[in-house]
Amino acid sequence: MCFMSSKYVYLVFAKTGTWLSRILYAFSGIKYVHSSISFDNSFTKMYSFGRINPNNPFSGGFVQESLFDGVYKKFPKSECMIYKVKITEEQYYALEDQINSFMNEKDRYRYNFLGLFGILLNMPIKRENHYFCSQFVSKILMESNVYDFEKTPELIRTNDLFQIKNKEIIWEGFANEYCIVPGNL
């Protein structure tokens, strides 16, 4: 009998207050328009596509974020919702490999601003080495066999990620008020 131990990955959904966040909310009505993925509940290393420099809204690409620094520090009233998702060890290591690949080549990646218009028009716009946050998160979840979305990653909105199985909400509130809660480890 083969025993596979369980691991966890964390999905972080945020409403940061940036001009892009406010515009996306105005067009979509989705509260949490930004998504990230993390391997631990300290949330000091989250991975996504967003602002490379918190002070420059036009410098977008693959980013390593912290719930307590960068954009979240610049916008202290950022709200978030955090899911803890139970996955297999195999899925965990597949996700980790993909993140490491993005990290090793992070200078190649850019933010897919055009892809956001594709979502509004329900027309996927796939550009090599260009992603927006929910496109990135859904792509690596799909390629790691964590979740099979009915849509292509180029059409995945943050609220589509809410449908993932094996999830548990561990936090909803202001990002700067999050603290590790025993039992949510």
104-136: pLDDT as tens digits: 999 999 999 999 999 989 999 999 999 999 999
| Homologous superfamily of 6-177 | endopeptidase domain like (from Nostoc punctiforme) (3.90.1720.10)
| Helices 89-104 + 133-143 axis angle, to 10 | 130
Residue 67 pLDDT > 70, yes or no?
A: yes
**Token representation of residue 116:** 């956001």
Q: Which residues, other chains included, contact 89 with Cβ-Cβ below 8 Å and sequence gap of 6+? A: 4, 5, 6, 7
Higher pLDDT, 171 or 176: 171
Q: What is the percent of the chain with per-residue pLDDT over 90, rounded to a whole number?
A: 75
Residue 2 pLDDT > 90, yes or no?
A: no
Per-residue buried b or exposed e for 96-107, using 16+ beta carbons within 10 Å of the residue's own CB: eebbeebeeeee
The per-residue pLDDT of the chain, averaged, comes to: 92
Look at residues 139, 180, 137, 134 and name the one whose alpha carbon lies nearest to residue 157.
134
Q: Which residues, other chains included, contact 112 with Cβ-Cβ below 8 Å and sequence gap of 6+? A: 49, 125, 127, 130, 131, 132, 135
Q: Please give the pLDDT value at position 20.
A: 83
Which helix (H) or strand (E) covers residue 12, if one does? strand 6-15
Per-domain boundaries in the chain: 6-177
Residue 141 pLDDT > 50, yes or no?
A: yes
Would you place residue 1 in the very low, low, confident or very high pLDDT band (cuts 50, 70, 90)? very low
Per-residue buried b or exposed e for 126-142, using 16+ beta carbons within 10 Å of the residue's own CB: eeeebbbbbbbbbbbbe
